[in-house]
Structure 1
């Protein structure tokens, strides 16, 4: 995040505080990405030991979220930031919340690794691998875009969620076919469906982080606006108001 076009404050301590918070966010993002990667691996290998390690590691993610939130509140109280500084802090608070929820998804995926899948039913979870890897890549890319507050990359990543949605819908159809052909697979299919839905939600979380990047760069709230309208507004020059 050192490349961000932020104000050079009179107070060197203020600069240090902002830099420290940005570093903490990237550390949290890296931890969540690793948690998610390990969770997918644990699910595919049905590795209960690795799954338990990931579940236990969720505590560290939660602690980081609390620590970052407290640091942001202290900055707001002491420095009374405005304009881009305030938008940055708000984007950080919202982003850490999304990262914490993605960490919860890793926890849910690991619960799947603890389920009993016979060799016959393993294709049910193998079908989730591609979706999981795609979600991990999207998370990695959005963290990189957030580090640089790169709005062009954020726009590209925002549209990646459409691919994840299509892949998820394909998996749902595949799993429903398993269930109809063999009712004995229903418990395992329901577990796999729950896991697939959790992974699909990662794409939505990454989209939210993209919107926080838009907010920081453009000074406008892009939530609850469809993709075409977002692109139209991003291409315009009717904002930023640097006094906000």
Structure 2
């Protein structure tokens, strides 16, 4: 943030508008992070009531996305931002879309918990919890990098997705083995696989947000670059 000195506009009102959307995206990010933490807790403890609360709160996430998007559209129409200001607005619009989808992940897993995820069989959700907690940490860290517009911290999160993917692959193989050994477990294993895939997608969304931070700071779209190529830019 200090690198680009966001509070630099001649218009104090423009500064206030930019700061408002930055603050709102952190509010949205905090809510989404809490949604993930709560659904993992609900999954681990088979707390259907908590899962239902997560599903109901998804409306708040959706409302924040609409509110922030409308404010960004208004700023673009009124201020016609250029250079880093325009990159910031674009990064925010793209980030809230990914945050909304992470919110959907929490809601989807909550529905699985309501339907008995991990409760109707001997399948342990411990590995699912570990995967979910890893995805939450990625979200927390990428939100921190977004708040500070720290491209180096964002790149750390970007690389972390590779570890999450490997963790998902290990869990996938574990669940497939379990299913082959006990065909009666197939419905429950499929539920667990769906939940695992949901958490893996959170990592993908966090990687996207990391790329938006790098785009804002460096002014270069890195969405289709490899890890080594991105490293050369930093």
Partner of 1:241: none
Alpha carbons of structure 1 residues 62 and 118: separation in structure 2 relative to 1, 3 Å: closer
User: Gaps (5+ residues) in structure 1?
Assistant: 236-244
In 1, the alpha carbon distance for the partners of 2:184 and 2:114 equals: 19
What secondary structure does 1:127 align onto?
Answer: helix
How many residue pairs align between the two structures?
233
Q: Which stretch shifts more, 57-66 or 39-48?
A: 39-48
| Contact 2:4/2:217 (<8 A) preserved | no
- Normalised by the size of structure 1, how large is the TM-score? 0.92
In 1, the alpha carbon distance for the partners of 2:212 and 2:170 equals: 29
Partner of 1:121: 122
In 1, the alpha carbon distance for the partners of 2:143 and 2:61 equals: 15
Q: Which stretch shifts more, 114-123 or 13-22?
A: 114-123
In 2, the alpha carbon distance for the partners of 1:196 and 1:226 equals: 25
Partner of 1:240: none
User: Gaps (5+ residues) in structure 2?
Assistant: none
Deviations 1:193-230 (A, max 9, x none): 01100100111111100110111001111112221122
| Contact 1:161/1:207 (<8 A) preserved | yes
Partner of 2:10: 10
In 2, the alpha carbon distance for the partners of 1:118 and 1:106 equals: 18
Give structure 1 regions of 4+ aligned residues with deviation exceeding 2 angstroms.
Answer: 1-4, 115-122
Alpha carbons of structure 1 residues 3 and 16: separation in structure 2 relative to 1, 3 Å: farther
- Normalised by the size of structure 2, how large is the TM-score? 0.96
Deviations 1:80-130 (A, max 9, x none): 00011000000000000000000000011112211234464241x222011
Give yes or no for the alignment of 1:87 onto 2:87. yes
The RMSD of aligned alpha carbons is 1.4
In 1, the alpha carbon distance for the partners of 2:91 and 2:143 equals: 13
| Contact 2:155/2:210 (<8 A) preserved | yes
Deviation at 1:2, TM superposition (A): 8.0
Partner of 1:214: 214
